[in-house]
A and B are shown apart, each in its own frame.
Chain A
Amino acid sequence: MREEFLGRLPPIKDTEKSVIEVTNAERLPNSRLSCQIKMTDDLDGLTIDVPPSQR
């Protein structure tokens, strides 16, 4: 997730934290699982970088 949106996202929960550690691409400080982000008006314009591979 691009930095400017990080503060608007719901906080990362334990399950997400444990799963994001074992993804294929290296975890970065701004990594999130997209399935844990519910789209809202506040996130209009959200910009994300997707990993080169997910499996």
Chain B
Amino acid sequence: MPAGAVIIGAGQAGFEAAASLRSAGYGEHVTLVGEEPHLPYKRPPLSKGFVLDKQGMDEIELRPAAFYDHHRVEMIAGERVVDVDRRERRVRLASGRAIAYDALVLAVGARNRSLPVDGAELDGVLYLRTLDESREIKSRLQDAKDVAVIGGGFIGLELAAVARSLGKSVTVLEAQPRLMPRVVAPVISQFYRELHASRGVNVLCGATVSEICGAAGKVHSVLTAGGHAFPADVVLVGIGVVPNVELAQGMGLTVGNGIVVDEQLRTTDPAIYAVGDCADHPNAFAGGRVRLESVQNACDQARCAAAAIAGHSAPYAAVPWFWTDQFDIRLQMAGLSQRHDLTVIRGNAELQKFSVFYFRGPDLIAVDSINRPADHMTARRLLAAHAAVTPDDVADESVDLKRLVR
């Protein structure tokens, strides 16, 4: 009798793998194991609408409980996998239960990087990844006056915008010389610096945190290497993540910057796939191996692995895309811009509606759009089609870019 598929990790990628197995026609048993005591939910609102009470639980859960029965997905919440016997093809849970598999999907995600300074353990220093952590931040912000955000990336800036919207005095401390340095061009970094400043957020770049100070176990300020102290009754840390590779390592799978997989998202054991934040995968848009932390990557990789398990194997080739909402501004990113050598702007930065097109040699490799959703959708199609787009086409607003798709 077939054992079926087991998915470890019930975040966006794990959930999508389970749902996609069914939509791909997979008829065997599907088991989804998650560490958190919740049904699978969306993480993006946790740093935005959920903290502001604009989105409730009903909008956060990926599917209602009835979905799992209806699609015969056995959802095991609040359980940890302790080891996997690859020879016997068996997963063992902390409760002692063993589950056999024919195909295993590792959707084990990533965890927050900890702030490596004295005082980081003080009460009031908070991180965000899970629903429970978001609830904690929401509750702590209620009585807070001064909020320090460490890290000027997506999570830090989204939380800064939220805290400022709640009327808090907010300081953002970014160690690099500009905001979101790993992902966007300087023109976008500058736009966001001005946006936050115009809404009253105190943004400091090139500011390295040297210590968190407190009294009676509770945080009261953040010290920088430059010798400045910033008062804070809540410190929100968003300084990146590290992939959860330990389980895979213990199983003897190859691990690099994440769990190493091939074009089909298979690990070094062909019965085992890795998808989402934890997967170190070959990606043509990156020009090599990469690990992506996004909803798009989680969903598309999960669908790709599920299709392979259901017998319709195809290489993973989806266009990467991302977004961030800060205040009333939406930034949408398509492609991976890191390797660019030229940027061209389309639209008007003063009107807060523009896109940055990134080229590498003659090739368009990425587009970041601020309040220009049609540019973003067009960019995804241009990138997927490897369309011939020139910097002149981009600079000339009378050129209809979507006509270049085919």
Contact = CB atoms under 8 A, between A and B. Distances in A.
Interface of A: 15, 18-19, 21-24, 55
A21 B384 contact: no
B377 to A, nearest CB: 5
Q: Which 7 A-B pairs have the closest CB atoms?
A: A18-B374, A22-B377, A22-B378, A22-B402, A19-B373, A22-B374, A19-B374
Nearest to B319: A55
A23 B377 contact: yes
Interface in B352-402: 373-374, 377-378, 381, 384, 402
A19 B402 CA distance: 11
A22 B372 CA distance: 12
B374 A55 contact: no
B67 to A, nearest CB: 16
B393 to A, nearest CB: 15
Contacts of A21: 374, 402
Contacts of A24: 381
A17 to B, nearest CB: 9
Contacts, number: 16
A21 B375 CA distance: 11
A22 B401 CA distance: 10
Q: Chain B interface residue count: which class?
A: under 10
Judged by DSSP, the binding face of B is helix
Nearest to A55: B384
A55 B382 CA distance: 11
A14 to B, nearest CB: 10
B384 A19 contact: no
A13 to B, nearest CB: 11
A35 to B, nearest CB: 11
Contacts of B402: 21-22
Given A19-B377, A21-B402, 14 more contacts: A15-B373, A18-B373, A18-B374, A19-B373, A19-B374, A21-B374, A22-B374, A22-B377, A22-B378, A22-B381, A22-B402, A23-B377, A24-B381, A55-B384
B319 to A, nearest CB: 9
B281 to A, nearest CB: 19
Contacts of B377: 19, 22-23
A38 B256 CA distance: 44
Interface string B157-190: 0000000000000000000000000000000000
Contacts of A55: 384
B56 to A, nearest CB: 14
Nearest to B402: A22
Nearest to A18: B374
A32 B381 CA distance: 19
Contacts of B378: 22
A24 B378 CA distance: 10
Contacts of B384: 55
Nearest to A15: B373
Contacts of A18: 373-374
Nearest to B371: A15
Contacts of A15: 373
Interface in B236-259: none
A21 B378 CA distance: 9
A52 B148 CA distance: 49
B45 to A, nearest CB: 15
Contacts of B381: 22, 24
A22 B402 CA distance: 7
Nearest to A16: B373
B351 to A, nearest CB: 13
